Amino acid sequence: MIFFLERVRDTLLHELCHAAVWVIDRVDVGGHGAAWKRWAIHCMSVFSSLPPIERCHNYKIDTKFLYICNGCGQTLKRHTKSFDTDRKICAICRGRFELQRSDGKAISTVKRANRFAEFVKENYGKEKKAGMKHADVMKILSYKFKQQAKMNTEMVEEENAAD
């Protein structure tokens, strides 16, 4: 993610060197080869007041999430919780990764089921009869959940009125 104008400028100039290689030089091999380097040198001579055009940026990237290997401490930075810790292992030591916020606090990767999902889990077996379709069972459970929620709301309102 780019939040500073200078980074936008530097990134755009870098990418324009790639575009020049493809559009002007008609070279469709990507990367940072000789053709890209020629364009980078040309841009740096034209815009000498700008920082050098590098193959890789050197600025710090702020991310919200860190995945830290519990074996060797290798750290992966991500903007989202997109890394599957159940399926991925550390390439260095084959250890497992633990998700943390960038401020260092641990985050649970397991989401708690919502109240309706919990209700279905507790009551599905009680309502399911032989030959019943899943959709019909879910209609019954939905109706009963709404009734239960309505009763809970009425009880809270009565308690508040009594106070």
Token pair, residue 8, equals 């936008």
pLDDT of residue 138: 96
pLDDT cut 70: percent of the chain above it: 94
Per-residue confidence band for 163, with pLDDT thresholds at 50, 70 and 90: low
Rounded to an integer, the average pLDDT of 50-65 is 82
Residue 27 domain flag: yes
pLDDT of residue 152: 84
Q: Are 102 and 66 in contact (CB under 8 A)?
A: yes
- H/E stretch holding 100: strand 97-101
Residues 94 and 125 both lie in one domain: no
Distance (Å, rounded) from C-alpha 49 to C-alpha 12?
16
Residue 124 domain flag: yes
Q: Which residue has the higher pLDDT, 20 or 67?
A: 20
Return mean pLDDT, the chain.
88
Residues 80 and 97 both lie in one domain: yes
- Residues 115-128: tens digit of each pLDDT: 999 999 999 999 99
How many distinct structural domains can be found in the chain? 3
Cα-based torsion angle of the residue sequence 23, 26, 31, 34 in order, rounded to the nearest 10 degrees: -110
Q: Are 34 and 52 in contact (CB under 8 A)?
A: no
Structural domain containing residue 70: 65-101
- Residues 77-129: tens digit of each pLDDT: 888 888 888 899 999 999 999 888 888 776 765 667 789 999 999 999 999 99
Distance (Å, rounded) from C-alpha 152 to C-alpha 163?
17
Residue 108 domain flag: no
Rounded to an integer, the average pLDDT of 51-59 is 82
Residues 87 and 127 both lie in one domain: no
Residues 70 and 53 both lie in one domain: no
Q: For residue 111, what is the DSSP state? A: P
Residues 49 and 10 both lie in one domain: yes
pLDDT of residue 80: 86
Q: Which residue has the higher pLDDT, 32 or 155?
A: 32
Cα–Cα nearest to 39, from 59, 70, 18: 18
Residue 139 domain flag: yes
Residue 10 domain flag: yes
Q: C-alpha angle with apex 6: 39 to 49, nearest 5 degrees?
A: 55
Residue 72 domain flag: yes
pLDDT of residue 148: 92
Residues 52 and 71 both lie in one domain: no
